[in-house]
Amino acid sequence: MPTQSTSPHLPFGENKNAPWYGMDILSVKQFSRTDLEYVFGVAHEMRGMVERVGTFDLLKGKILANLFYEPSTRTSSSFTAAMERLGGSVIPINEVKYSSVSKGESLPDTIRTLECYADVIVLRHPETGSAAIAAKAARKPIINAGDGVGEHPTQALLDLFTISEELGRLDGLTVTMLGDLKYGRTVHSLARLLTLFGARLNYVSPEILRMPKEVMEEVADKGIVQTEFGSLEKVLAETDVLYVTRVQKERFEDVADYEKVKGAYVIDPDVMKAAKSEMIVMHPLPRVGEISPDFDDDPRAAYFRQMEYGLYVRMALLAMVLGKA
Amino acid sequence: MPTQSTSPHLPFGENKNAPWYGMDILSVKQFSRTDLEYVFGVAHEMRGMVERVGTFDLLKGKILANLFYEPSTRTSSSFTAAMERLGGSVIPINEVKYSSVSKGESLPDTIRTLECYADVIVLRHPETGSAAIAAKAARKPIINAGDGVGEHPTQALLDLFTISEELGRLDGLTVTMLGDLKYGRTVHSLARLLTLFGARLNYVSPEILRMPKEVMEEVADKGIVQTEFGSLEKVLAETDVLYVTRVQKERFEDVADYEKVKGAYVIDPDVMKAAKSEMIVMHPLPRVGEISPDFDDDPRAAYFRQMEYGLYVRMALLAMVLGKA
Amino acid sequence: MPTQSTSPHLPFGENKNAPWYGMDILSVKQFSRTDLEYVFGVAHEMRGMVERVGTFDLLKGKILANLFYEPSTRTSSSFTAAMERLGGSVIPINEVKYSSVSKGESLPDTIRTLECYADVIVLRHPETGSAAIAAKAARKPIINAGDGVGEHPTQALLDLFTISEELGRLDGLTVTMLGDLKYGRTVHSLARLLTLFGARLNYVSPEILRMPKEVMEEVADKGIVQTEFGSLEKVLAETDVLYVTRVQKERFEDVADYEKVKGAYVIDPDVMKAAKSEMIVMHPLPRVGEISPDFDDDPRAAYFRQMEYGLYVRMALLAMVLGKA
């Protein structure tokens, strides 16, 4: 039912009575606060079931086509595990670039073929807007697993679910985002989602990697307080959630500029002495040096648990769009 | 039991009492009219089961090795889905060219290794005759999923099954094949199969891409009327099945020749006004321009349903060779 | 529980009461004679179950992450089949080199992510010691499926299990190893394991591919008689197990040297006339010419059955580390 869920005029969450059955998951913009609470409620139940029984047959007999036009082992594995933990099966399609499917065939044709075989399609594609194109062609539900610099809604949902599960609440938190805030798709989505919960946002980044104007304006319109900083020390003590992203050397024209700033964006046990004991450190992974492995055993290090919460969110979404939650 | 099924002297269908258990599916030449009717009967039941329950455990506990020496997402996904919809499991082997299996190991050795793990092997291989070589080595059934310019029997069967399901009959149809009839493996196989049902065949192609002499002679020997045309308009009105294939620019020495003819082989709603309302348009997919997407919503556009019929035919064959149908 | 199983001071087999639950399988050095007998007992039961029912649900609901940093179709397929024959599911991760997981992410981070999704991880990695690094990071069991020139314990176990099943005993056998004994990881591991059973070992190889000094010294320390030969004829008649490996042309500086010796290391029906009727010929596969296909139908040719025994050993290990055997 692509019309309903992709329409900007009838966002997903506004029809409170609509079942999630057959819906596409294309963008975090589909989700109202009520929707998010519903997803997280289902995901929380999934967590409980996995902890108790590991796997159960909620989606037995259902088939997921896991269609990845670019490799992403983490996301692909997470969806595969989500489907398998619900008793369903997976058609893995990871090597699309070598395949005849990619030889000139349009994305809608590929989607219309795969929906002959599968009950739901997860799509990762390098081009922005691909997921919406796929959803328009499909009768079966499409879940966007990242389309270029566009959306990656399940990542945004798992980030928010992590906060909810770890801190027990989403309202009124102080969230500090650190590192590359310009190119980081995850921090843009998370900032937008947090506006629904009255957060206070701190942005700590090098000058050239500041949070984009359009994101800040959108967030400001919702009445959210945002403050920018060049270093972490002024805000770490008050932070409930520290969301770390990678500062890539390649973003800097002059390597000397990179060398100058990089140390300011590395988290280790020493830096974290200034933080509260009741807070969490998140990271979308993979990390390459921006969080020291020495910090991994600290209870505040939530980034591996974050991966696990991703499993539960994806289980919830699969069950929902297949009419089983 | 490769001896029996690969022997030209004892074709599969001649032993009416033989079970299909353990048989190889190597060539459409194995199939008599009675065999085809049997396969299509089972495939029709599979269609009914999938429409009613989606998936069922007919092959629970059985394992398919899906061995693709060249990528073919469509065929590979279709067999994977077929096995999964029957409750069975799949060992996907898609990256053979990078693997040690391909480093000098003979195909028979690879097959004899894989049959230690699996109950049935689907093989796609670039070299003609590979499936027969594999079947000779194997104790477990081999299903040929395309061996070079050789056979691709499940494609031929799904084409015929599509006609059977869509039009409700196979006898006495007027079938028009359009486009590249010289290199198109699918049209050669379909023409041969249709001789069993007394069809009338029209061939519409550029001069340089005409149906090969040897196919035409073989078909003529069965008493089938074949007529060649340079354009569609003379035959479209009487056509029950229009089978479209792609005319590739690369086939033409002079691009100007291609530009001159290409328009004559494009199907769109306007062209289709001249056709009957009770007929179907088929295409093996992928298509690249030879059928306008504007025609996709026409009830006569059967090419995506054709993909779905492929699922049912492959389910039927898997169940049959594993002794469950 | 990596500490226990990777510790050189508390080898696996010394704690007789310890369950195998949660253990890593990293090296053949973990296994005492009693351990081996236990593994082979379970593997023998697996064989019986597969022969009777094909597949059963011992590991239903369990998920294996099959993580291959380098391709190995044979080993990967074998683990996939092992998990599927036990009713479990697999996350196939074969294309690591193209994936973001490999872009700078450390192995421990990848492992900690995947264990969020899976219950057990099979790891193939080009670098020696990788499996131990993975096991140190992981809370879930790791099974080493080959780490560079390091260990490949399941290959060594399946070799020994093959002998046990084929000859009905492991004690006091005369085992002749033929071919490249210098670089062949499998013969080094097998020689070490056989010291537990009082074997008599013959090494037949070209001068430049002799069994390494360190392996011979280790084996000699256990009181095992080892004798080196330049050709097979002197020892074939007394041999219970002939283990053939490939002599690669690339190992020779001068191709003429290779051409001179290669004939001495090829097994065919004629050569085998000098062997006993109650003995077996093994090979880790793939083979490329060192055993003539003409010998394949001889009952003594055990190399394809060897692949099948590998399935049972891997089923046993998966069941054991997941607490089900």
DSSP letters for C138-190: -SS-EEEEEETTS--HHHHHHHHHHHHHHHS--TT-EEEEES--SS-HHHHHH
Kindly give, in sequence order, each residue whose CB lies less than 8 Å from that of residue C224, ignoring residues fewer than 6 positions away. C194, C195, C198, C199, C200, C201
Query: Which residue in the block uniquely carries the two structure tokens 């219309």?
Result: A112
List pLDDT tens digits, range B35-64: 999 999 999 999 999 999 999 999 999 999
Shortest Cα–Cα distance, A33 to chain B (Å) = 34
Instruction: Provide, rounded to the nearest whole percent, the portion of chain B with pLDDT above 70.
Output: 92
As a whole number, the mean pLDDT across chain C is 90
The alpha-helical segments, DSSP class H, found in chain A are 2-6, 33-53, 73-85, 107-114, 130-137, 153-167, 185-194, 213-221, 255-262, 303-321
Contacts of B206 (CB under 8 A, 6+ apart): B180, B230, B247, B257, B261, B264, B265
C-alpha to C-alpha distance for C9 and B155, rounded to whole angstroms: 60
Find the closest chain A residue to C117 by CA distance. Answer: A81
Instruction: Say yes or no for a CB contact (<8 Å) between B105 and C285.
Output: yes
Separation of alpha carbons A34 and B272, rounded Å: 49
CB-neighbour burial class of residue A309 (10 A; exposed 0-12, middle 13-18, buried 19+) = buried
- Residues of C in Cβ contact (< 8 Å) with B114: 77
Mean pLDDT by 10 residues, chain A (325 residues): 34 46 95 96 98 95 95 94 98 71 79 97 95 97 93 96 98 96 92 96 94 97 96 96 90 84 88 97 93 97 98 98 92
CA A273/CA A226 separation, integer angstroms: 24
At residue C226, φ and ψ (nearest 5 deg) are: -125, 135
Report angle CA B192, B195, B199 to the nearest 5 degrees: 120
pLDDT band of residue B97 (cuts 50, 70, 90) is: low
Interface test with B, best of C72, C74, C308 (most B CBs within 10 A): C74
pLDDT digits (tens, 9 = 90+) for B287-316: 988 999 999 999 999 999 999 999 999 999
Q: What are the distances in angstroms from CA B216 to CA B187, B192, C106, C153, C319?
A: 11, 9, 61, 59, 59
Are A85 and C63 inside 8 Å of each other by CB? Answer: yes
Closest CA to B317 of B60, B66, B43: B43
CB atoms within 10 A of CB B134: 27
SS3 B65: strand
Per-residue pLDDT, B55? 96
Query: The pTM is what?
Result: 0.92
pLDDT in tens, A128-167: 999 999 999 999 999 999 998 888 999 999 999 999 999 9
Please count the other Cβ atoms lying within 10 Å of the Cβ belonging to residue C2: 21
Q: How high is the pLDDT of residue C58?
A: 96
With a cut of 80, say whether residue C13 has pLDDT above it: no
Q: What is the C-alpha separation between C132 and A271, in angstroms, rounded?
A: 30
> What does the mean pLDDT of chain B come to?
90
Chain C: residue whose CA lies nearest to B118:
C81
Chains with 3+ CB–CB pairs under 8 A to C are: A, B
- How far apart CA B20 and CA B17 sit, in angstroms, is 9
**CA angle, residues C69, C74, C77, in degrees to nearest 5:** 85
Please, which chains are in contact with B (at least 3 CB pairs closer than 8 A)?
A: A, C
Query: How many B-C residue pairs are in contact by the CB < 8 A criterion?
Result: 75
Q: Check residue C59 and give its pLDDT.
A: 96
Work out the number of other CB atoms within 10 angstroms of the CB of residue C6.
21
Q: How many CB pairs under 8 A join A and B?
A: 75
Cβ neighbourhood burial of C52 (10 Å; 0-12, 13-18, 19+): exposed
Q: What is the Cα–Cα distance from B309 to B296, expressed in whole angstroms?
A: 17
Host H or E run for residue C323:
none
pLDDT at position C95? 65
Q: Which of B177, B172, B300, B167 is nearest to B235 (CA)?
A: B177
What single string gives the DSSP state of each residue in A144-210?
A: EEEETTS--HHHHHHHHHHHHHHHS--TT-EEEEES--SS-HHHHHHHHHHGGGT-EEEEE--GGGP
Tokens of A33: 């606060």
The string of DSSP letters for B142-176 reads EEEEEETTS--HHHHHHHHHHHHHHHS--TT-EEE
Query: What's the pLDDT tens digit per position in C82-100?
Result: 999 999 999 999 866 655 5
ipTM rounded to 2 decimals = 0.90
Q: Provide mean pLDDT across the span C25-45.
A: 96
> What tokens does C191 get?
């020689």
- All domains in chain B, ordered by first residue: 2-151+310-321 (3.40.50.1370), 154-307 (3.40.50.1370)
Q: Which two tokens stand for residue A178?
A: 């650190």
> What's the rounded Cα separation, in Å, for the pair A102 and B74?
11
Q: From chain B, pick out residues whose CB is under 8 angstroms from the CB of C85.
A: 63
- B113, C74 in Cβ contact below 8 A? yes
- A72, C99: Cβ pair inside 8 Å? yes
Assess contact for A24 and A5: CB atoms under 8 A: yes
What tokens does B2 get? 């490769």
Whole-number Å distance between alpha carbons of B322 and C172: 43
Contacts of C86 in chain A (CB under 8 A): none
